[in-house]
Amino acid sequence: MKFKLAKLFTYNKGFTLIEVLLSIVIFSILTLGMLALFSQAMTYTQKSENDTLGVYAARNTLNFMEQQSFEMIKKEYVDDLTDEGEGSTATLTNEVCHIWFNGESEELKQRRERCLITFNPSLNNRQLNISVELKKHTDSSLQTSLIPMEILVVWDEENESRLEGFITNEKLR
């Protein structure tokens, strides 16, 4: 009997069923760990893409607003604002495009179209809605040269980006 047991353990012609099953279990555990890692990386990549998309659209709107007439925006939207509380901000949406660029000339039509695209761009098959919130500058000595604004970009109902900036008086540009 002793001879047969020794022969049983030294006979190595192939793998036993237990060894095969154990290697499959170990491989499965490692594979599931790797899949979780890839899933998490995909989630981070998508979040990063969304953040980049929102910041890009907000910067484009910031650039567009900086090109507009400081005096017109100050007179039409900022001068009547209060310093705090209700009435301390003015919100601009794509509706201002029809007010600012009202007319039938080709130049006004092109500027109106650019304005509408700026406030409601379609990027990466996503429709973005942008609003600009104007305020009075808290420092009264800077109210004649800077208009603070915050740009809010919203898309897919659960994503948003915010960017703050200033419209600078043309005399200082």
Q: In the structure encoding, which two tokens stand for residue 51, read together?
A: 């953040």
Per the CB < 8 A criterion, the answer to whether 157 and 167 are in contact is no
pLDDT of residue 14: 72
Query: Collapsing DSSP states into helix, strand and coil, what is residue 156?
Result: coil
Strands (E), 11-88: none
pLDDT of residue 12: 63
**Residue positions counted in the chain:** 173
pLDDT of residue 17: 87
Give every CB contact of residue 110 below 8 A, 6+ residues apart in sequence.
none
Q: In the structure encoding, which two tokens stand for residue 95, read together?
A: 């509706």
pLDDT of residue 45: 92
What is the spatial distance between Cα 112 and Cα 64, in angstroms, rounded to a whole number? 12
pLDDT of residue 161: 93
pLDDT of residue 6: 57
Residue 129 β-bridge partners:
154
CA distances, 68 to each of 20, 50, 168 (Å): 72, 28, 10
DSSP for residue 151: E
Query: Collapsing DSSP states into helix, strand and coil, what is residue 124?
Result: coil
Query: Collapsing DSSP states into helix, strand and coil, what is residue 149?
Result: strand
pLDDT of residue 90: 93
pLDDT of residue 16: 83
pLDDT of residue 80: 87
pLDDT of residue 122: 93
Helices (H), 67-170: 70-73, 96-100, 106-119
pLDDT per residue, tens digit, the chain (173 aa), is: 555 555 555 656 677 889 889 999 999 999 998 888 898 999 999 889 889 999 999 999 999 999 999 999 999 999 888 877 777 899 999 999 999 999 899 999 999 999 999 999 999 889 999 999 999 988 889 999 999 999 999 998 888 999 999 999 988 76
pLDDT of residue 74: 92
DSSP for residue 172: G
